[in-house]
Chain A
Amino acid sequence: MVKKVKLHDLCCANCAAKIEDKISKLDGVESVTVNFLTEKMIMNADESKMEDILSRIEKIVHKIEPDVEIEYI
Chain B
Amino acid sequence: MKKDIAFIVSGAVLFIAAMFVPDSMNILKFILFLTAFIVSGAEVLINAVKGVVHGNVFNENTLMVVAAIGAFFIKEYPEAVFVVLFYRVGELFENYAVRKSRKSISDVMNICPEYANLVKDGSTQRVEPDEVNIGDIISVAAGEKIPLDGVVVSGSSFVDTSALTGESVPREVKENDEILSGCINKNGVLTIKVTKSFDDSTVSRILELVETASAKKSKSEKFITKFAKYYTPTVLALALMLAVLPPLLIDGATFSDYIYRALSFLVVSCPCALVISVPLAFFGGIGGAAKQGILIKGGTYLEMLASADKVVFDKTGTLTKGVFAVKKINSVGISDGELLELAAYAENISSHPIAQSLRDAYKKQIDLTRISESEELAGHGVSAVIDGKKVLAGNSKLMEKANIPFNKEEENGTTVYIAVDNSFKGSIIISDEIKQDAESLIPALKKSGIAQAYMLTGDSKESARSVASRLKIDTVYSELLPGDKVSKLEKIMSHSKGKTVYVGDGINDAPVLARADVGVAMGALGSDAAIEAADIVIMNDEPSKLAMSIGIAKKTMNIAKENIIFSIAIKIIILILCSLNIVGIGVAVFGDVGVMVLAVLNSFRALNSIKEK
A residues within 8 Å of B by Cβ? Answer: 11-17, 21, 31, 33, 35-40, 42, 62-64, 66-67
Residue contact A38 to B54, C-beta cutoff 8 Å: no
Partner among A21, A37, A40, A66 whose Cβ is within 8 Å of the Cβ of B279: A37
What chain A residues lie within 8 Å of B276 (beta carbons)? 13-14, 36
Smallest CB–CB gap between A2 and chain B, Å? 9
Within 8 A of A (CB), among B235-279: 270-272, 274-276, 279
Q: How far is the CA of A40 from the CA of B229 in the complex (A)?
A: 21
What chain B residues lie within 8 Å of A38 (beta carbons)? 102, 105, 211, 214
Given contacts A11-B95, A14-B272, contact A37 B54 (CB under 8 A): no
> Which residue of B has the minimal Cβ distance to A39?
B102
Q: How far is the CA of A17 from the CA of B499 in the complex (A)?
A: 29
> Which residue of A has the minimal Cβ distance to B104?
A37
Smallest CB–CB gap between A10 and chain B, Å? 10
B212 within 8 A of A: yes
> Which residue of B has the minimal Cβ distance to A34?
B214
Given contacts A17-B225, A37-B280, A38-B102, contact A63 B56 (CB under 8 A): yes
Residue contact A66 to B272, C-beta cutoff 8 Å: no
Q: How far is the CA of A17 from the CA of B276 in the complex (A)?
A: 9
B219 within 8 A of A: no
Q: Mark B53-69, 1 if CB is under 8 A from A, else 0.
A: 11110011000000000
Given contacts A36-B276, A38-B105, contact A63 B283 (CB under 8 A): no
What chain A residues lie within 8 Å of B280 (beta carbons)? 13, 37
The 8 closest A-B pairs by CB, nearest first: A13-B276, A35-B214, A14-B275, A13-B275, A33-B215, A63-B54, A14-B272, A66-B50
What chain B residues lie within 8 Å of A40 (beta carbons)? 211
Residue contact A12 to B211, C-beta cutoff 8 Å: no
Main SS of chain B's interface residues?
A: helix
Within 8 A of A (CB), among B263-312: 270-272, 274-276, 279-280, 283
B414 within 8 A of A: no
What chain B residues lie within 8 Å of A36 (beta carbons)? 98, 276, 279
What chain A residues lie within 8 Å of B279 (beta carbons)? 13, 35-37
Partner among A14, A33, A63, A66 whose Cβ is within 8 Å of the Cβ of B214: A33
Q: How far is the CA of A36 from the CA of B51 in the complex (A)?
A: 19
Within 8 A of A (CB), among B76-118: 95, 98, 101-102, 105
Residue contact B211 to A42, C-beta cutoff 8 Å: yes
In the complex, besides A36-B279, A37-B280, 14 extra interface pairs with C-beta distance below 8 angstroms are A12-B59, A13-B272, A13-B276, A14-B228, A14-B274, A17-B225, A17-B275, A21-B229, A35-B283, A62-B54, A63-B55, A63-B56, A66-B51, A66-B54
What chain B residues lie within 8 Å of A39 (beta carbons)? 102
> Could you give 28 example pairs across A and B, Cβ below 8 Å?
A11-B95, A12-B60, A14-B271, A14-B275, A16-B275, A21-B229, A31-B215, A33-B212, A33-B214, A33-B215, A35-B211, A35-B214, A36-B98, A37-B105, A37-B214, A37-B279, A37-B280, A37-B283, A38-B211, A40-B211, A42-B214, A62-B54, A63-B54, A63-B55, A63-B56, A64-B56, A66-B53, A67-B50
What chain B residues lie within 8 Å of A11 (beta carbons)? 95, 98
Residue contact A12 to B214, C-beta cutoff 8 Å: no
Residue contact B98 to A37, C-beta cutoff 8 Å: yes
Q: How far is the CA of A33 from the CA of B211 in the complex (A)?
A: 11
Smallest CB–CB gap between A54 and chain B, Å? 18
What chain A residues lie within 8 Å of B95 (beta carbons)? 11
Q: How far is the CA of A33 from the CA of B228 in the complex (A)?
A: 17
Q: How far is the CA of A66 from the CA of B52 in the complex (A)?
A: 10
> Which residue of B has the minimal Cβ distance to A44?
B215
Within 8 A of A (CB), among B210-229: 211-212, 214-215, 217, 225, 228-229
Q: How far is the CA of A24 from the CA of B472 in the complex (A)?
A: 48
What chain A residues lie within 8 Å of B54 (beta carbons)? 62-64, 66
> Which residue of B has the minimal Cβ distance to A67?
B50
Q: How far is the CA of A66 from the CA of B50 in the complex (A)?
A: 7
Q: How far is the CA of A38 from the CA of B215 in the complex (A)?
A: 12
| Residue among A15, A31, A35, A37 with most chain B CB within 10 A | A37
> Which residue of A has the minimal Cβ distance to B232?
A14
Residue contact A17 to B228, C-beta cutoff 8 Å: yes
Smallest CB–CB gap between A70 and chain B, Å? 14
What chain B residues lie within 8 Å of A31 (beta carbons)? 215
Q: How far is the CA of A15 from the CA of B227 in the complex (A)?
A: 15
Q: How far is the CA of A15 from the CA of B177 in the complex (A)?
A: 49
Q: How far is the CA of A12 from the CA of B50 in the complex (A)?
A: 15
Smallest CB–CB gap between A64 and chain B, Å? 5
What chain B residues lie within 8 Å of A35 (beta carbons)? 211, 214, 279, 283
> Which residue of A has the minimal Cβ distance to B105?
A37
What chain A residues lie within 8 Å of B275 (beta carbons)? 13-14, 16-17
> Which residue of A has the minimal Cβ distance to B216?
A33
Q: How far is the CA of A13 from the CA of B278 in the complex (A)?
A: 11
Q: How far is the CA of A31 from the CA of B216 in the complex (A)?
A: 11
Q: How far is the CA of A36 from the CA of B283 in the complex (A)?
A: 10
Smallest CB–CB gap between B290 and chain A, Å? 12
Residue contact A15 to B59, C-beta cutoff 8 Å: yes
> Which residue of B has the minimal Cβ distance to A35?
B214
What chain A residues lie within 8 Å of B217 (beta carbons)? 33
Q: How far is the CA of A26 from the CA of B484 in the complex (A)?
A: 44
Residue contact A37 to B51, C-beta cutoff 8 Å: no
Q: How far is the CA of A66 from the CA of B46 in the complex (A)?
A: 11
Smallest CB–CB gap between A39 and chain B, Å? 8
Q: How far is the CA of A64 from the CA of B272 in the complex (A)?
A: 14
Q: How far is the CA of A17 from the CA of B232 in the complex (A)?
A: 14
What chain B residues lie within 8 Å of A12 (beta carbons)? 59-60, 272
Smallest CB–CB gap between B44 and chain A, Å? 13
Residue contact B59 to A42, C-beta cutoff 8 Å: no
Q: How far is the CA of A64 from the CA of B51 in the complex (A)?
A: 7
Smallest CB–CB gap between B94 and chain A, Å? 9
